[in-house]
A and B are shown apart, each in its own frame.
Chain A
């Protein structure tokens, strides 16, 4: 049962344009959502998060939007830079989640072309 899904395995954009990565979830108990960025042969690093009481959180070039009714969140990167090329994972957790564990999506490979 895949509770967090990233339906696009890959995305390619031009430098300077906007990158939009999408994530859907099915568990209505999730109340906190995070995005991680991962380079090859490295551990994921935290990028940005959002609580379910908000619908938007912005940090520099990165903005996460949450649509609770649609159980959908998205990460916007603008302007995109070649250094943003990486795999992006969406993750979710709930206050009642045993062990405070995160459930991850499958990841989206973002390629930003110069």
Chain B
């Protein structure tokens, strides 16, 4: 069966520090991968998506970047965190071609920038 792992679960980082969040998927090949953020009291905002290794699409201009070094690995990074980067970050995968199966989400990372 397919599983998605996301870590760490919580993170407190000072302003200006770097960030690296990792997401891995097991049990599937060629998944579409996504990074979403839920800011306090707000909905799910798509940050990045990837349809293959090295292929990254950015939805909104921001202080973050994403990389996909392997088929089932998706990394969210920042060189210097801002206070506004605080939020709940979610990784998700979907079978290639989309189908009608929706996403499977990871358990999320609560990032607090102080």
Contacts and interface: CB of A to CB of B under 8 A. Distances in A.
Interface residues on B, range: 20 to 34
B105 interface: yes
B107 A101 contact: no
A106 B43 contact: yes
B40 to A, nearest CB: 12
A100 B43 contact: no
Contacts of B88: 41
Q: Chain B at the A interface: mostly helix, strand, loop or mixed?
A: strand
Give the bracket for the number of chain A residues in contact with chain B: 20 to 34
B90 A100 contact: no
B102 A43 contact: no
B49 A99 contact: yes
A1 interface: no
Interface string A27-54: 0000010101000011111100101000
10 contacts: A36-B102, A43-B6, A43-B105, A43-B107, A43-B108, A49-B102, A89-B44, A99-B51, A101-B46, A106-B42
